[in-house]
A = this chain, B = another copy of it.
Amino acid sequence: MKKAHNITLLGAGLIGTFYTMSIQGKRSRDRIRTVCAQTEGEAEAFARKWGIPQWTADMKKAVEDPETDIVIVGVPNYLHKKAVTLAARAGKPVLCTKPLARNAREALEILEVVDKAGVFAGYLEDLVYTPKTLKSIAAVKRGALGKVIWVRSRETHSGPHSAWFWDKKLAGGGAIVDLACHCIEIIRSFIGKDVRPAEVMCLADTMVHPIAAEDSAIALIRFENQAVGQFEVSWAFRGGMDLRDEVAGTEGTIWLNHFLRTGYEMFTAAGGKGYVAEKAEGETGWLFPVGDEVHELGYTNMFGDMFDALDANRQPEETFLDGYIVNAIMDSCYRSAKTRRWEPVRLERWYPGAKPAKAKAPKKAARGRYSLIKEERMPDGTLKQLLQDWKTGRVVQKVKKA
């Protein structure tokens, strides 16, 4: 029988709300028992709204509540290290929201804190847990797409609600740190998490908002097996929240749309009657709500995996090591955006025992002088072949009689 967990939640903002809805939703056995916010007042209001018996503004006290057995970190980025350290010292399993840290160095420190303490640690990257993403990853693993060669992940909206997100020092960056952390894990999950990211080319710019951080960015990530990951993030998108993933393989294609085109379309001239969807723009005209945001954004599956992993004494799908790798890739992106060159991804930690994946360039498949590019059966029954002649470098056409 599965255990029922009692949880300390640090952070009572939007992410805390999503986490609470998810953990306490449906017929779940688990409950938030203590919530910690910046002020007592905020903490109490949140606790009363969600039926949480205890509240405080004291993070240490919240973590050390003897009746809770898991700590969830949902505070701003610059407080992750402090919060995780408190949990580790209290010897409690800790789950930390994305990104793990403001940069790879800080992430490594956080990783070492939990390693030394020997506590269970899960990285709360929700978007790899969306129902569509999980099912797609399974299909890819079964070979439905052949070899994955390119993954594009896009998250764009009009910018976050809280002040600290916009503050480069508190957040560690702008749209990349806020959004690309999602995209990177989505990309890695499709390409294979044990395939090493080799190098990165990134363009980051401040195109719309008067801020010091980037509000728009694109990056290309080359993996050791030749596959390419491409993320596109922006705080300057108009029209709601655009959340799409596209996977290209040698045998197939997957297109996922998580938000604006999910089979739910509403036109209203009345409008103004309440919450439509996260980051929706406008309350009249054509709107595109999402059925069950908490589920479709992956929160439900994510906490399911975390708690099940803890109960089963196994690692969750997303660990602090994954969080560290994400930060390392984002660091490379920032370096590349500055140097304007491809920058290597520097990883001081990697999966123990992972074997390097080799690129299988199509050229090597050629035997002898000619490689077959394509062949086609013609109406007259002959077989038309296009062949690359590696000696001359030319492409030749051969027609074989039926």
The one of B210, B281, B289 in contact with A372, judged by C-beta atoms closer than 8 angstroms, is B210
A254 sits at the interface (CB 8 A)? yes
Question: A304 to B263, Cβ gap below 8 A?
Answer: no
Question: A361 to B206, Cβ gap below 8 A?
Answer: yes
Q: How far is the CA of A156 from the CA of B267 in the complex (A)?
A: 14
A265 sits at the interface (CB 8 A)? yes
Q: How far is the CA of A137 from the CA of B264 in the complex (A)?
A: 13
Question: A237 to B209, Cβ gap below 8 A?
Answer: no
Question: Residue of B at shortest CB range from A370?
Answer: B210
Q: Which residues of B contact A163 (CB under 8 A)?
A: 386, 395-397
Question: Given contacts A208-B250, A218-B220, A265-B255, is CB(A304)–CB(B26) below 8 Å?
Answer: yes
Q: How far is the CA of A288 from the CA of B139 in the complex (A)?
A: 13
Q: Which residues of B contact A342 (CB under 8 A)?
A: 340
Q: Which residues of B contact A274 (CB under 8 A)?
A: 142
Q: How far is the CA of A284 from the CA of B287 in the complex (A)?
A: 12
Contact with B along A255-270 (1 / 0, CB 8 A): 1111001111111111
Question: A362 to B253, Cβ gap below 8 A?
Answer: no
A358 sits at the interface (CB 8 A)? no
Question: B263 to A136, Cβ gap below 8 A?
Answer: no
A351 sits at the interface (CB 8 A)? no
Q: How far is the CA of A342 from the CA of B339 in the complex (A)?
A: 10
The stretch from A54-62, A85-93, A292-300 touching chain B is: A292-300
Q: Which residues of B contact A263 (CB under 8 A)?
A: 132, 256-258, 261-263
Question: Given contacts A27-B303, A135-B289, is CB(A253)–CB(B270) below 8 Å?
Answer: no
A238 sits at the interface (CB 8 A)? yes
A4 sits at the interface (CB 8 A)? yes
The one of B131, B240, B284, B366 in contact with A291, judged by C-beta atoms closer than 8 angstroms, is B131
Query: Separation in Å of the A131 CB from the closest CB of chain B?
Result: 3
Q: How far is the CA of A267 from the CA of B281 in the complex (A)?
A: 10
Q: What is the total number of copies of this protein in its complex?
A: 4
Question: B230 to A218, Cβ gap below 8 A?
Answer: yes
Contact with B along A332-345 (1 / 0, CB 8 A): 00000000111000
Question: A266 to B253, Cβ gap below 8 A?
Answer: yes
Q: How far is the CA of A250 from the CA of B273 in the complex (A)?
A: 16
Q: Which residues of B contact A29 (CB under 8 A)?
A: 4, 27-29
A327 sits at the interface (CB 8 A)? no
Q: How far is the CA of A273 from the CA of B141 in the complex (A)?
A: 10
A355 sits at the interface (CB 8 A)? no
Contact with B along A227-242 (1 / 0, CB 8 A): 0101000101111100
- The interface of chain A, by Cβ under 8 A from chain B, is 2, 4, 26-30, 130-132, 134-136, 139, 142-146, 149-150, 156, 159, 161, 163-164, 166-170, 201, 203, 205-212, 216, 218, 220, 222, 226, 228, 230, 234, 236-240, 248-258, 261-271, 273-274, 281-282, 284-289, 291-292, 295-296, 300-301, 303-304, 307-308, 340-342, 361-363, 365-366, 371-374, 376, 386, 388, 390, 393-397
* Subset of 30 A-B contacts with CB under 8 Å: A27-B307, A131-B296, A132-B291, A142-B274, A145-B270, A163-B386, A163-B395, A163-B396, A166-B373, A166-B388, A166-B395, A170-B395, A201-B340, A208-B250, A210-B363, A210-B365, A211-B371, A211-B388, A239-B267, A239-B286, A252-B267, A254-B267, A257-B263, A262-B262, A284-B285, A285-B285, A286-B286, A286-B288, A291-B296, A340-B342
